[in-house]
With several copies, the nearest count.
Chain A
Amino acid sequence: MKLIYFSWIRERIGTGEEEVSLPENVDTIASLFEWLKSRGEEFEAALEYPDVVRVALDQEHVDDRQTSLTGVKEIALFPPMTGG
């Protein structure tokens, strides 16, 4: 499973992407957030305000935090977009 981070979330975590093996009980976005926060204070800082963190599963925006991660290959976390 590939995790990708952008903008200040990337800066707080200290890396742009990583390969991880998720524990079996980490099967939704909500549980992913909990698991990430348990991995250290850089992750806690990045997810300090989880409501502002946007999520894309295999490059598609997903709002519902109960969405299943089954079959997903790439998860991206990033703040609200500021393009244009």
Chain B
Amino acid sequence: MTKAIPDIRIQAEDFDISAEISQLSEGRGDIGAVVTFSGLCRDESGTLAALELEHYPGMAEAEIKHFAEQAIERWDLCGLIAIHRYGKIKPGENIVLVIAASSHRQAAFDGANFLMDFLKTHAPFWKKEHLNDGSAGEWVAAKDADEDALSKWDNRES
């Protein structure tokens, strides 16, 4: 069987999840499970006006593609899409989308979860906060918990 080719996009525009799923599954009879993850901008209890996302063009696509190919290989996915937005994003808006399609449900869950964990810690994106009170926001600090989350993909048979 031909390996699926990951579809990676870094863009300012929003995405439509239903349209992306259709694009992935249309006309295919081998897909039994589709898992999507969308990450949204939270308002941090009303204090946040927006997040500004900076990225490293070129490297961002390459890094996500690298881990997307690992996910396809490890869980034998039928298809994998990752879309990461950059620029100013307001609370309630989408930041990131991962879609994993597989014949079986656990593979689709694991593939999407794995890619998100690596995207959080390995994709060259940085978030700066813009606050509602007009004060200068901080750069969001990396969380140890995100780094720790990677360990669940070590030495584990899928």
Which A residues are closer than 8 A to B by beta carbons?
4, 6-8, 10, 56, 59-61, 76, 78-84
The answer to whether A82 touches B142 (Cβ under 8 A) is yes
**Contact pattern, B 85-123, Cβ under 8 Å of A = 1, otherwise 0:** 000000000011000000001000000000010011111
Assuming the contacts A6-B126, A61-B122, A78-B126, asked whether A83 and B84 have C-beta atoms less than 8 A apart, the reply is yes
Once bound together, how far apart are the Cα atoms of A60 and B124, in whole Å? 10
Once bound together, how far apart are the Cα atoms of A78 and B126, in whole Å? 9
Q: Total A-B pairs in contact (CB under 8 Å)?
A: 71
Q: Which residues of A contact B56 (CB under 8 A)?
A: 4, 6, 56, 59, 76, 78
Which B residues are closer than 8 A to A by beta carbons?
39, 53-56, 58-60, 62-63, 84, 95-96, 105, 116, 119-128, 139-142
9 shortest interchain CB distances as A-B pairs: A83-B125, A80-B142, A7-B126, A59-B59, A84-B120, A83-B123, A82-B140, A84-B119, A8-B139
Once bound together, how far apart are the Cα atoms of A56 and B122, in whole Å? 11
Nearest chain-A residue to B60 (Cβ)? A83
Q: How far is the CB of B112 from chain A (nearest CB, A)?
A: 12
Q: Which residues of A contact B121 (CB under 8 A)?
A: 80-81
Nearest chain-B residue to A54 (Cβ)? B124
The answer to whether A56 touches B96 (Cβ under 8 A) is no
Assuming the contacts A7-B54, A59-B58, A76-B59, asked whether A84 and B116 have C-beta atoms less than 8 A apart, the reply is yes
Q: Which residues of B contact A81 (CB under 8 A)?
A: 120-126, 142
Once bound together, how far apart are the Cα atoms of A83 and B84, in whole Å? 8
The answer to whether A84 touches B124 (Cβ under 8 A) is no
The answer to whether A84 touches B39 (Cβ under 8 A) is yes
Provide a sorted-by-A list of 16 A–B residue pairs whose CB atoms are within 8 angstroms: A6-B126, A56-B59, A59-B59, A76-B59, A78-B124, A78-B126, A81-B120, A81-B122, A81-B126, A82-B140, A83-B96, A83-B124, A83-B126, A84-B84, A84-B96, A84-B116
Which of B119, B128, B139, B141 touches A83 (beta carbons < 8 Å)?
A: B119
Q: Which residues of B contact A59 (CB under 8 A)?
A: 56, 58-59, 62
Once bound together, how far apart are the Cα atoms of A76 and B59, in whole Å? 10
Assuming the contacts A56-B59, A81-B122, A84-B119, asked whether A7 and B139 have C-beta atoms less than 8 A apart, the reply is yes
